[in-house]
Amino acid sequence: MRLVLPNYSMAHIRLSWLDPCKVRRVTVVGSKKMVVYDDIEIFEKLRVYDKGVTCVPYPDSFGEFQFSYHYGDITIPQIKLA
């Protein structure tokens, strides 16, 4: 399923009860960071990735069109579960 939100953000949802590979993961991608929650993981359920992409807003020509990738650290916060 593809959802288009009012502010032109998008969300993709994939569900399957028949898939033999069970994945329980939620990924939220922002312009500066990405968060992955994995319910299957025992100790490291949440990871925050410091990565993103910036682009020239309105280039005058195709030659000026370029992306700038940012790769940073991965943070794994400690979460106390009840």
In the chain, domain spans: 2-75
Structure token pair of residue 22: 């069970």
The answer to whether the CB of 58 falls within 8 A of the CB of 73 is no
* pLDDT tens, per residue, the chain with 82 residues: 899 988 888 888 888 888 888 888 999 888 788 999 999 898 899 999 998 777 767 777 777 777 777 788 999 998 887 6
pTM of the model: 0.68
Going by the DSSP 8-state scheme, the letter that residue 10 receives in this structure is E
